[in-house]
Amino acid sequence: MPGLSAFPETNVRTYVHRNGQDPGVWFFSLDAANRIACAIARRFFGLPYFHANMQVLEERNIRRYVSNRYSAPNSLSRISSVLGGRLPDAQPGTLEFFLIERYLLYTVRRGLLMSGRVHHSPYPLREAKLEGIDEKPVGSAEIRPEPFVHVMGSDGVDVKIYPLEPI
């Protein structure tokens, strides 16, 4: 839908398998700069979206994300990275493929475990170096932050989520 698909978003997620199969993602939180998209995702997909005041600032090869949830003013998040050149497409069996090529999401809706198919083209990967991070949503998800040992960037892809199905 025009106006609902191009906006800044930051997510805190983990990678899961159901019964050792069906790799997917589980979202702890998703901050997005579009109030309507947040409401739709919460209602129809049961995803933990939060409307946030977000900015993406770019200066040469430095990209800065600044986010603050409207419902939690102390959730300020700042991430700054230096983006480098294009990397090859992620290949099956590599860490990069494991981290980005997920085609299922899992969520709980009305007390039921649900899954939804996700479709997207391969992420165009870029070299990246983390310049600085102050990431409150990670801590609010009760995840103990550790130093980042693997950083890569992407200019993003369009993602289509299909209707959820109970499992």
**Predicted pLDDT of residue 141:** 67
**Predicted pLDDT of residue 145:** 64
Q: What is the tens place of the pLDDT at every residue in 107-117? A: 998 899 999 99
Those residues with Cβ within 8 angstroms of residue 160's Cβ, 6 or more apart along the chain or in another chain: 118, 119, 120
**Predicted pLDDT of residue 39:** 94
Confidence of residue 4 (pLDDT cuts 50, 70, 90): low
Tokens encoding 146: 């550790």
Q: What is the DSSP string of 21-89?
A: EEEEEEEEEEEES-HHHHHHHHHHH---EEEEEEEEEEETTEEEEEEEESS-TT--EEEEEEEEEEPPP
Name, of 73-82, 135-144, 157-166, the range with top average pLDDT: 157-166
The pTM is what? 0.82
56-60: long-range pairs with CB below 8 Å, 24+: 56/8
The values of phi and psi at residue 137, to 5°, are -60, -30
